[in-house]
Amino acid sequence: MVFSRLEEIEARFNFTVATASLRSGGWKACFYVSIVYVIAIFAGRHYMESRPKFNLRRLLFGWNMLLALFSALGVRRVAVPIFTDIISFGWDKAICSQDPFHKRGALWMYVFGLSKIPELFDTSFIVLRKQPLIFLHWYHHVTVFCYGFHSFTDPQGHVRLFVAMNFFVHMVMYSYYAVRAQGLVRLPRIVNITITVMQIAQMFIGLLIVVEATI
């Protein structure tokens, strides 16, 4: 029932109409948002230096579960069709096809870009709980946020491969964060290391995809 309703929404969605204002130059606002984001997190860390940290365990669990479920749905609606296309039509079709922006995948290209806005609030939990803030964390948020919005202005077939990878990595990552926030199960450190490697790997794989798509 839920998926039937979702398929109706996907069928009616028009990517061109939805992103018209962004293609006219509105996407550039993401750079200003990114600047404010970076300033805010370091100002917040300075503000919290002399103040006790917040617990936020329950809120953090709920937030991560919500993003994990959203990412899992994204994997189901984006990654599965990609594998189907690769098997049926080959790698070139999967990279170069514009179908994702005109058929069922169009909604998920759009939702993916918009989802990068609330994901910026991940950092607020780190700041308010006085957790270590590494460069990779905020750099990843800024670059994926800007890339997601830029993809609205110049949609390319290979973008859905980025989207699929990011949905998958986030499904695993936010599930891990939710389990850790709950505090009932202590996961080995190798899990955290593996997720970090996955985050870095998707960047390099993304570069290879771009090179392949432009040759």
Clarify whether 141 is annotated catalytic: no
Q: What is the CA radius of gyration of the chain?
A: 18
Annotated active-site residue in 46, 102, 140, 141: 140
**DSSP tally for the chain: helices H, then strands E:** 12, 0
The widest CA-to-CA distance across the chain, in whole angstroms, is 59
Going by C-alpha positions, the residue among 156, 170, 180, 177 that lies closest to residue 115 is: 170
Q: What angle do CA 72, 78, 83 make, to 5 degrees?
A: 110
Distance, CA of 62 to CA of 78 (rounded, Å): 24
**Contact indicator for 176, 191 with CB cutoff of 8 Å:** yes
Structure tokens at 49: 């230096």
Catalytic residues: 140
